[in-house]
Structure 1
């Protein structure tokens, strides 16, 4: 089998490529250049698109004795990931750029080009498993990345390979060291790769400017001001700078972000609880589920899955809608995030959260 190994310059993708070689496949390594002006070096564990990362990927490929290429996908990354990220925040939603990158770049642009060049599959260092034609969680719950792969289609799953799905991170690092790979002890990348300094607010300010507005309590009382709704996400507690303390003295959290009026609504933690999630643009890793079904849902990359009743409903205006009723309330669920559905360990599909319904509040006892 001809395998295209996506090599980020980190330890996971290097070991994944090595295992593909060991399996006897014809492997070619490819590093994705996603930034027009990449930094020379990473800032610790921040980012993953520096020149240093490209050099590390090349050294790993040389060690494995496989061909290596760099593909410039910076224009498509800017349009499909970075511009989408900015537009979503401008609209009051909270996007997940890693999930969007998997959807639009790693398993769309790369796979499309790979198949056109005669490759059979794309191999990555994601912690997930492919069992037959099904996508499943990784064995290591602490490293499981199936959530950010929930956007894959059945076609993409069928042409993907995740060699690390049955291993732990400790095992992968030990294997890299034993193979003599220089990235064995390299820190994992985290945060948003195109904001290597971690200043998301500053990044958005530079693109959206200052848009002053009011912060109001649930009863509409003004309790503060802000410089832009893009500084806030549902569930946020820190950085609110409220001028009027809550009557009960407890912390307040962002409950709603409305860019049209420039209003950010805050309230008590219990007001964040929701039991119904409506998602748009659902994608399925296999066949579309029929009728309401019982499963598990997850709304954050490392969040705990919760039991739920899940249903796909047809909508003439916007296509299918995914409706999820959870058995227990979830907190801080923000529009723009993904809800990923599971049947046990199997990833069924995902949708982009459009709206939520608050959990019933307990009646006050007179």
Structure 2
């Protein structure tokens, strides 16, 4: 039995890690903003199932092009692991993401968008649990407490006027809550298995992404075919209703997917979670400033709680160190 690896280090990040982390956070912000901007009269003119399909295909093309460039630069001398085990390992996170994304529609119908968003923070703790069990990375007691506080902070930031209006905030069916719990676990498992795949074989990064996005393309193609519109209406159904903004959204999804893979390859799922948390607060601030969303004190309170939780998670031990005593100059009496 292998002993757990130590908790995530607190050392400064490398330029590659900083780039991947920053890219994921900023691109995650623009996903939400572009999704909002691509709506017309509160509705989507395009088939929303085509967005993940085009995004997966774009990621596959981009990663394939980057891999071919690296392969050419290496003179065709690049050892690749294309065994059945490696190829099938790439299918596991893709399948979990596919199931999770399709469950979201049922959950929102059962719980409503507000409760869905509040319970979405369960992914933080679920990711940490599976990160500990599968990746064997040990988190200390203080770090576990900070993850709980981070979850609370994110939840506080999303609270609306439901309490003032007399609502308990727990409306919805038992099925909805059960599916949301399963969905949080599926999403977390998908992320951790994705990290395990990226760190578990010696294949080049872009080739690993090719395997991941190949499976993602297959699963999203399957979902479009099952819907039936493509079969009835032909290929034009794929691009019907799309605009410059929706294609910008697709490109953004593709880039954020590659950036997220970079975070999991060169950092870990905890860093990925923190980047997503940072993006959530940036989007909320932009929505208040640019889209006229009402300012909520709960957003500020949640942001402060989350920021402190992340700081203590990484630097808790150094923050708890007792500072050296202050020596005042002694005055001598004459």
Q: TM-score range by the shorter chain?
A: under 0.3
The structure with the greater share of residues assigned to helix is 2
TM-score with structure 2 length normalisation?
Answer: 0.24
